[in-house]
Amino acid sequence: MLELKVFDGERDVVLRFEHSLLSLSKWEAKTRKAFLARSQRTPSELYSYFECMLLPPEDDPNLVVLINPEQMKELTDYINTSQTASSVPVDDKKVLDDETITSELIYWWLAALRIPFQPTESWHLSRIVMLVQIGGYKSQPEDKRKKRAKPNMADWTRINEERKKRYGTNG
């Protein structure tokens, strides 16, 4: 959650924003567009998404227009920044799917992995996606997971020593 303070002409108001599956669902229902698509969003679409991100008690969408450019950047950075310390090995050979990611697809991923919607749908979206990636990775057979794991420094050193012996070189 991100909190930003704006002045509404009479008082300072603290706006609380949440980049979550719930806010994504609201925006997609409103616009009938996929927010996570690779296409650029217009400023009005971004403001509309910020409105969907607003949490009570100050959830009046008219307050979003009071955000200044620095706060807009802070809000955009909050959306784009990962909120997790986790990672999973990536298969470099796998071609990225051109599948459009929508809120319904993310809900399907949660259901397929038997991850309850509550409380995850209010988490930062990067945490939900990482949880799904971990679930997909951990559900693979162990031998397939080991093949996908990237070598660490000790592996690289061992491989390099084997190659030096095999080819009679010293590096």
Which residues form the domain of 133?
103-166
Q: What is the pLDDT along the chain (171 residues), one digit of tens a residue?
A: 999 999 888 888 999 999 999 999 999 999 999 998 888 888 889 889 999 999 988 778 888 889 999 999 999 999 999 998 888 887 644 545 667 889 999 999 999 999 999 999 999 999 999 999 898 888 888 776 566 566 677 777 888 888 888 888 886
Same domain, 10 and 75: yes
Q: How far is CA 89 from the centre of its chain?
A: 16
How confident is the model at residue 91, as a pLDDT?
62
The answer to whether position 14 is within a domain reads yes
Q: Give pLDDT, residue 142.
A: 76
Q: Is 147 helix (H, G, I), strand (E, B) or coil?
A: helix
Does some domain include residue 85? no
Supply the pLDDT for residue 88.
83
In angstroms, how far is CA 156 from the centroid of its own chain? Answer: 31
- Whether 88 maps to a domain, the answer reads no
Tell me: do 70 and 10 sit in the same domain.
Answer: yes
**Residue 111 is assigned to a structural domain of this protein:** yes
Asked whether residue 97 is domain-assigned, the answer is no
Co-location of 15 and 57 in the same domain: yes
Interacting residues of 65 by C-beta distance below 8 A, sequence separation 6+: 47
Q: 44 and 6 share a domain?
A: yes
H-helix segments, 54-115: 69-80, 103-112
C-alpha distance from residue 6 to each of 16, 65, 82 (Å): 11, 10, 25
pLDDT of 167: 82
Q: What is the pLDDT of residue 151?
A: 65
Does residue 134 sit in the same domain as residue 72?
Answer: no
- Pairing mode, strands 2-7 and 12-17: antiparallel
Q: Is 157 exposed, middle or buried (0-12, 13-18, 19+ CB in 10 A)?
A: exposed
* Same domain? 18 vs 57: yes
Whether 75 and 107 share a structural domain: no
The predicted structure's pLDDT at residue 10? 87
Q: Identify the H or E element spanning 17.
A: strand 12-17
116 and 68 assigned to the same domain: no
Pair (114, 58) in one structural domain = no
72 and 139 fall within a common domain: no
Tell me, what's the pLDDT at 37? 85
* Chosen domain end from 80, 114, 135: 80
